[in-house]
Amino acid sequence: MLRDVKVILTFGLLSPGKGVEYMIDVLPAMVREHPDVAYIVLGATHPAHRQDYEDWTAEVRILANKQIAHYHEFIPRGDAYYKLMAVCDLIVLPSTDETQSDTLARIIALYKPFVTTAPLAGLTAQALESGGGLLFTNKQMLRANVIRLACDEQLRIKLGENVRRHLEEVVSWDVIARQYLQAYDLARTSLVTGVPVALEREL
């Protein structure tokens, strides 16, 4: 099924604010122009959002019957979950809120290029700081950037490499551990000498 197509993935616990409905809206026109793309939604939901979830999955299944999209029940940390994340070409995170749990962390951990929403502070900052994501502010931009990334292998490779470098050089546990040790050293030195710690100002 996935051999000759570009696989676009959205995953996570689906709820209002996750934005999956925006991808559902733009997908038919996108596939008409680029029939070699496939959209996979990998998810489940909280019981409180069950009706929204049923509405979204019903729409996705209509698209699935037209061979436009595919829906898979979310299996947290299961084999199917990681296999689909591994084979996808890009990930779309079309959220309209900041409550992403570890979704973006998993995207970065797998070096995946992504398309996400602006101007949400956390998502926008991570896309810009990692250099691994394209941003959108409306459905037209969402469609354009998903198509751009799906159709440009070199861009996907570049953004994936940016994500890898960001992970290894900025947010890996080794880097964080060194920063903690440095902070403790600075605090200890300040305590012993009585000289306040002076840190370089960041934006």
CA-CA distance, 184 to 173, in Å (whole number)?
A: 16
CA-CA distance, 178 to 180, in Å (whole number)?
A: 5
CA-CA distance, 145 to 134, in Å (whole number)?
A: 7
**What separation, in Å, do the N-terminal and C-terminal C-alpha atoms of the chain show?**
47
- pLDDT score for 176: 94
DSSP 92: E
Contacts of 34 (CB under 8 A, 6+ apart): 6, 147, 150, 151
- pLDDT score for 123: 84
Q: Which of 16, 15, 86 is nearest to 44 (CA)?
A: 15
- Phi/psi region, residue 67 (left: phi>0; alpha: psi -120 to 50; beta: rest), is left
pLDDT (tens, 9 = 90+) of the chain, 203 residues, equals 556 789 999 887 777 788 888 998 999 889 888 888 988 888 777 777 888 888 888 888 888 888 788 777 766 667 777 787 888 999 999 988 776 657 888 888 889 999 999 887 788 888 999 999 999 999 999 999 999 999 999 999 999 999 999 999 999 999 999 999 999 999 999 999 999 998 888 76
pTM beyond 0.95: the answer is no
Output the six-digit token pair for 26.
């733009």
Alpha-carbon Rg for the chain, nearest whole angstrom, is 20
In the chain the domains, ranked by start, together with CATH numbers, are 6-172 (3.40.50.2000)
30: enclosing H helix or E strand: helix 20-33
- pLDDT score for 103: 82
- pLDDT score for 101: 58
Do the Cβ atoms of 46 and 123 come closer than 8 Å?
Answer: no
DSSP 127-185: HHHHS-EEEESSHHHHHHHHHHHHH-HHHHHHHHHHHHHHIIIIISHHHHHHHHHHHHH
